[in-house]
């Protein structure tokens, strides 16, 4: 079954191929849900939390952990909404820094997967190239 969001933009920020089968690429995106990564940006230490949602009934998104059997019923194409929350880590406290939201479409292209990324939030911080790096890092 295709899980497509009908308002996915025609204009995109980045399109690239992932050299893994469609089912493996989908499983990789789903595994990112609820994880985090720490990174140093300049002199600051930042924690980046991942939240992943999947298209539901072409009009909305549901958290991937609320969709039973998600990995077994997807074919051809799927749209995800990925939210990256940045938190500045200091010795005294944690300060929310930004919340970046992306729409990601995975399309099956033979034995590879085409990935389309569009940033929907206007906050500064992470961009489509950063999300590509996270996805490719998770695949390998």
Domain containing 56 — which CATH number? 3.30.530
> Quick one: pLDDT at residue 40?
85
Backbone dihedral angles phi then psi of residue 31, each to the nearest 5 degrees:
-65, -25
* Within a domain: 5: no
Is residue 9, in this structure, part of any structural domain at all? Answer: no
- Inside any domain, residue 8: no
What confidence score (pLDDT) does residue 73 get? 83
Counting the structural domains of the chain, the total is 1
How far apart CA 31 and CA 87 sit, in angstroms, is 21
CA dihedral (31, 35, 39, 44) in degrees, to 10, reads 150
Do 130 and 123 contact (CB within 8 A), yes or no?
Answer: no
The phi and psi torsions of 25 (rounded to 5 degrees) equal -65, -40
Give residue-wise pLDDT tens across range 17-51. Answer: 999 999 999 999 999 999 999 988 778 899 999 99
Give the residue from 104, 107, 130 showing the smallest Cα distance to 117.
104
Average pLDDT, consecutive stretches of 10 residues, N- to C-terminus, the chain (140 residues): 89 94 94 92 89 94 90 89 93 88 95 95 83 89
Domain that holds residue 79: 14-139
Tell whether 118 is covered by a domain.
yes
């Amino acid at each position: 079954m295709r899980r497509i969001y009908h308002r996915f933009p025609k204009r995109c920020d980045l399109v690239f191929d992932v050299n893994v089968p469609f089912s493996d690429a989908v499983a990789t995106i789903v595994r990112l849900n609820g994880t985090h990564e720490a990174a140093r940006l300049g002199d600051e230490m930042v924690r980046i939390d991942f939240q992943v949602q999947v298209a539901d009934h072409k009009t909305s998104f549901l958290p991937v952990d609320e969709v039973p059997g998600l990995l077994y019923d997807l074919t051809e194409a799927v749209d995800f909404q990925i939210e990256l929350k940045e938190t500045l880590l200091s010795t005294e406290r944690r300060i929310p820094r930004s919340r970046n939201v992306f729409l990601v479409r995975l399309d099956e292209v033979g034995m590879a997967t085409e990935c389309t990324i569009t940033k929907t939030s206007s906050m500064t911080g992470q961009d489509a190239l950063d999300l590509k790096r996270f996805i490719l890092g998770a695949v390998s």
